[in-house]
Amino acid sequence: MNEQNNEQMNDQASETVTVRDAAFGQVNEFGSVTAHSERGNIHCLTIVGQIEGHMILPPDNKSTKYEHVMPMLAAIEESGDIDALLIILNTVGGDIEAGLGIAELIASMSKPTASLVLGGGHSIGVPLAVSASRSYIAPSAAMTVHPVRLNGMVIGVPQTFNYFQRIQERITEFVTTNSHISREKLLQLMLETGELANDVGSVIYGREAVACGLIDQLGGLSDALTYLHERIKSAREQKRERTQETSDAEQPIS
């Protein structure tokens, strides 16, 4: 009897180690992990450093690769084991097309999503922050809002500036659609000339981001998780009600 109990305990310990090792593997390789609990399974995805697009960044740069994040978001949406998504942001920005593509994917997910800006959500990090169902920002976190810029050689023709304007319009439309900031206020922040020393734009901090409607709420990790758990609970209750209604409808009339 004691031998059986010892074997069961060893099996449970082995399963715990396997789950723990798998979780650490996710963090080390992709900067993400799925937290399991009775209240629901929440996948935590970190978007840190610079968003890497079509060009590979130097190895000493901390980066988030869009070819990792995009299929991961698709897998999360389709997974029956994941109930919600938490996005933790501390990014300096990066590739516009890659960042906007990731933001569009997050905004189109049917599962509950929450974003939390810690440290910074700069440049293309702004659309990423507002793409979630509910956005949070730490009081000490900052967000830099500025117009589209391009590094490298620029061909000085009217078509180039028209291209810039069209990209800017895509970002402006996405941010205003997925947040409560007005178009006029967003453009004002983008075109501010007295805020940054060698650039055009604005740096806004936690309370300012909430006050202008860019971010939904000032808060931290527990606030974001509480929101997701409430959404999961509500979804489960609705599913139970639909199941009960279907069961009642299928019962024969006596």
pLDDT for the residue 76: 95
- What is the CATH number assigned to the segment(s) 31-243? 3.90.226.10
d(CA 195, CA 142): 13
Confirm if 192 and 44 have CB atoms less than 8 A apart. no
| Tokens 């527990």, residue located | 222
Structure-token match 């939904």, residue found: 216
pLDDT per residue as tens digits for the range 217-253: 999 999 999 999 999 999 999 989 888 877 777 776 6
Which tens digit of pLDDT belongs to each residue from 49-79?
999 987 777 887 888 998 999 999 999 999 9
Cα(168)–Cα(126) distance, integer angstroms: 13
Catalytic residue among 32, 63, 122, 146: 146
CA pair distance 205, 208, nearest whole angstrom: 5
Q: What is the pLDDT of residue 8?
A: 54
108 is written with which tokens?
């189109």
229 annotated active-site: no
**In the beta sheet, which residues pair with residue 90?**
48
Phi–psi pair at 164, nearest 5 degrees: -60, -45
Residue where the block lists tokens 């949070």: 136
Give residue limits of the domains in the chain: 31-243
Annotated active-site residue in 63, 115, 123, 131: 123
Is 123 among the residues known to form the active site? yes
